[in-house]
Chains A and B, each alone.
Chain A
Amino acid sequence: MQEHLIFRFDVDGEDFTSAGQASVHVKKNLRQIGIDPETIRRVSIAMYEGEINMVIHAGGGVAEVHVYDEYIEIILDDRGPGISDIDKAMQEGYSTASDNIRSLGFGAGMGLPNMKKNTDKLDIFSTVGVGTKIVMRVNYKN
């Protein structure tokens, strides 16, 4: 396999207030290596939603960003409860977030739809009681 850049983060599932830090880091790093702004924006939005989902629904996990020549791949892997009905979870407005989490501004049920909208490829592998792995791909503009 060709050498490529990888960013890797352990996403803490305890701290709701500092959630999103991995995505903020990635955005900064992508800017530094000169990725186009539109691609950075799409990666930022998609990764943030996935990162937040790991924090609020799965007790944390691991986030990886792979920078290839043709596209950027975001991989989110958790050992949370899993998603029993992925089609339902993908629907705008569907959320199982608690009142506590909603009071922070989460739980609109728009995270997965945002991930779909801002990526060129989205694959969700989930097993109830085992965990969820999400692989997203964003092609560079042009």
Chain B
Amino acid sequence: MNVQELIKVADLNIVTLPSPEREVEGAYIGDLLSWVMGRACENNAWITIMSNSNIVAVATLADVSCIILAEGVTPDEGVTETAESKGVNILSSPKSAYEIAKALFKSGL
């Protein structure tokens, strides 16, 4: 499944979608950046409530296919633009990380 398809089946909102074709395989949930760096796998969807610009560098370096901001969190100023220019997909949802993970699971991820 790619990110574009995931958005539809898991009912996610688009914050920025510069790389809609990226494959998604599995997910990682976490807010502590060095845990995410150490544990998230390539092409995971990364679910977090962190909204500052460091999430863009982490997403780039950990090779996740998208960031999903949970609990209705919105990115800090300038983050969306940075993500867009770096090709990092940011999605969002009013749901909790648990509810989002459930939706991803149900969608066949």
Residues of A within 8 A of B (CB): 16-21, 23-24, 27, 41, 44-45, 48-49, 52, 104-111, 113-114, 117
Residues of B in contact (CB 8 Å), total 21
Inter-chain contact B52/A111, CB cutoff 8 Å: no
Q: Which residues of A contact B57 (CB under 8 A)?
A: 19-21, 23-24, 48
Candidates A41, A45, A48, A104; contact of B52 at CB < 8 Å: A104
28 contacts between A and B (CB under 8 A): A17-B53, A17-B54, A20-B54, A21-B57, A24-B60, A24-B61, A45-B37, A45-B62, A49-B34, A49-B37, A52-B33, A52-B34, A104-B33, A104-B50, A105-B31, A105-B54, A106-B32, A106-B34, A106-B54, A107-B32, A108-B33, A108-B34, A109-B34, A110-B34, A110-B35, A110-B37, A110-B38, A114-B34
Q: Is the CB of B33 within 8 A of A106?
A: yes
Residue of B nearest to A43 (CB): B61
> Hey, which chain A residues are within 8 Å of B10, CB to CB?
none
Question: How far is the CB of B18 from the nearest CB of chain A, in Å?
Answer: 15
